[in-house]
Amino acid sequence: MISTLHYISQPAHTDNILAACDAGCKWIQLRIKNETAETVLPVAEAVKKICDSYQASLIINDYPQVAVAVGAAGVHVGKLDMTVAAARAITGNNMIVGGTANTLEDILQHVADGASYVGVGPYRFTTTKQNLSPILGLSGYQQILQALRQKNISIPLIAIGGILLEDIPALMEAGVYGVAVSGLITQASDKQTIVAHIHQQLNHTPTWSL
């Protein structure tokens, strides 16, 4: 089952993932860029233990061989990294494989390659990611989701990229499956409260003012 809230890690990865799990996140993506698999492996092993203790799913960004080695729930591949099909060849059919997309064409390719879900963005400008793709904004998601409906294609779309709490209701109304956030949780002074508020927004329950 794909979660509606994805937490994307930032340095210090282990500390931030522990804090996110403790705050109630159940889907964690370990995102370490521009390192060797040998460097990522011990971090992945450490955060896998954390995720297991909180019954959270661990997704490894970009390193399918590391995901297999630590028994992660799956892998996520970036737009400029390997294809979903190449990652799937390493993980096998039982693992979750997600991919990053910026356009309808990207999504259709991921669907053809057997993706479990697609992370679509960026919603707005974010400093978390280098080589940022064109900003989609709400209208971008609406157009993409409408095109997918016309093609009778159904795959969980996770909105990502500078998403704030107040953005979530409109995104969910547009038809996205969920959201991926990083700084919104990492930088929160009260992580438990912000995670609770995110879940409320995702579930269309009455919102509370922060």
Q: Which domains can be identified in the chain, with CATH numbers?
A: 5-202 (3.20.20.70)
Q: Which helix (H) or strand (E) holds 147?
A: helix 137-150
For tokens 């609406």, what's the residue? 142
**Band of pLDDT at residue 209, cut at 50, 70 and 90:** very low
For tokens 């490894």, what's the residue? 60
Please state, in angstroms and rounded to a whole number, the distance separating the CA atoms of residues 43 and 49: 10
**Band of pLDDT at residue 155, cut at 50, 70 and 90:** very high
Q: Which helix (H) or strand (E) holds 157?
A: strand 157-160
Residue 155, both tokens: 């795959």
Model's pTM, two decimal places? 0.94
Mean pLDDT of 83-110: 97
∠ CA 49-51-53, nearest 5°, is 70
**Band of pLDDT at residue 199, cut at 50, 70 and 90:** very high
Please state, in angstroms and rounded to a whole number, the distance separating the CA atoms of residues 182 and 123: 13
**Band of pLDDT at residue 193, cut at 50, 70 and 90:** very high
Residue 149, both tokens: 């409906």
Q: Which residues pair with 179 in a beta bridge?
A: 5, 159
